[in-house]
A = this chain, B = another copy of it.
Amino acid sequence: MAAEIAEQPDVWRRLLADGPAAGIDAAAAMVRARRPRAVLFVARGTSDHAALHAKYLVEIRHGLPAGLVSPSTMTAYGARPDLRDVLMVGISQSGGSPDLVRCLEVARQQGALTVAVTNDATSALAGAAHAHVDVLAGPERSVAATKSYTAQLLALYLLLERVRDVDGRPAAAALPDLGDAVLAREAEVAALAPRYRFAQRLVTTARGYSYPTAREAALKLMETSYVSAQAFSGADLLHGPLALVDPQVPVLAVVADGIGPVEHVLPRLAERSADVCCVGHPGAVARAAVGFTLPAGAPEELSPLLEIVPFQLLALHVAVGRGGDPDAPRGLSKITETL
């Protein structure tokens, strides 16, 4: 897991250099030719968080309605929706889960243009789709997905930019060096880890483009350190779950340079005397109990690539500090087959 976290800036460099030729440009051309009226994503686990980020991109930058498909509607209930004019994107590291393959097959039969985004060009999901985008992350062996997640974020960004005839590479060009700068500060994260040594419960929160970071951070902590980590968008936190926050339930807040959750959520957390760790811009970090400042220089919609890195490192250090093996979490295997 440590090695795969550290590889991420090089994965991003590879994707920026070779991604367009490795499928992004061809897939984008196919989408442009079809001019979809709506975009659906289908994914599970970590890949579902990349899908959520891409859903924000589509809603905000493409001006199209977007949704996340519940696979069981097609696999278990036999739904056969009318998907003419729809783009369906299936996202999976392995490309091997039968339920996702079946969803893309059904979507294709129902008239959708289908694109698979995976880390294995020979996978069943890649074969089922009209077009395949390879995230070029290289073999991922740790059960907890790290480099494949940020590679999915970047590949989907480059794909969706190209669909609207924009070359996303200049906006993303600084990311690999910024990623190296974050990784070089691993000691800061390691120093935070003992604070959560005995935490059994956690809340993560963020807003907008950073909300998928909160979701993915919670999943990393769940699967490596067995913490009950719950992610809420800032607004959803106020609609009920805020009640469970007290000084014994640490909060990890992602505060990006854009809309962030600062204005409405941080004061409400302070009222509940919450112990808040802020990851993001310096002003928010300075007001929190503890935190990790992210370097400036990435556009808001790409900041999730950097934001997740300290959380991946935190999950790793908390797991090791607890005597666990983050490469082999109990009860899990690398390829999850769900029907």
Residues B223 and A243 in contact, CB atoms below 8 Å apart: yes
Instruction: Give the chain B neighbours of A330 by CB distance below 8 A.
Output: 243, 272
Residues B76 and A59 in contact, CB atoms below 8 Å apart: no
- Residue of B72, B226, B245, B271 near A259 (CB, 8 A) is B72
- Residue of B85, B144, B200, B244 near A37 (CB, 8 A) is B85
Cβ of A323 under 8 Å from chain B? no
Instruction: Give the chain B neighbours of A115 by CB distance below 8 A.
Output: none
Number of copies: 2
Count of interface residues, chain A, beta-carbon cutoff 8 Å: 76
Residues B272 and A244 in contact, CB atoms below 8 Å apart: no
Q: In chain A, residues 217-231, which have Cβ atoms closer than 8 Å to a Cβ of chain B?
A: 219, 222-224, 226-228, 230
Binds B, one of A38-46, A128-136, A304-312: A38-46
Q: Digit string of A49-83 for contact with B (CB within 8 Å is 1, else 0)? A: 00000011001101111111111111011111111
CB of A222 to closest CB in B, whole Å: 5
A130–B133 CA distance with the chains assembled, in angstroms: 41
Instruction: Give the chain B neighbours of A249 by CB distance below 8 A.
Output: 228
Cβ of A32 under 8 Å from chain B? no
A234–B168 CA distance with the chains assembled, in angstroms: 37
By beta carbon, the residue of chain B nearest A43 is: B239
- Residue of B45, B82, B336 near A63 (CB, 8 A) is B82
Cβ of A201 under 8 Å from chain B? yes
B-binding residues in A (CB < 8 A) = 37-38, 40, 44-46, 48, 55-56, 59-60, 62-74, 76-83, 85-86, 99, 144, 200-201, 203, 207-208, 211, 219, 222-224, 226-228, 230, 233-236, 238-246, 249, 259, 264, 268, 271-272, 329-332, 336, 338-339
Interface CB pairs A-B, < 8 A, 25: A37-B37, A37-B38, A40-B65, A44-B235, A44-B236, A46-B239, A55-B70, A59-B70, A59-B81, A63-B80, A65-B67, A66-B67, A67-B67, A70-B208, A72-B207, A77-B259, A99-B235, A200-B201, A226-B246, A228-B228, A235-B338, A242-B331, A242-B332, A245-B331, A264-B338
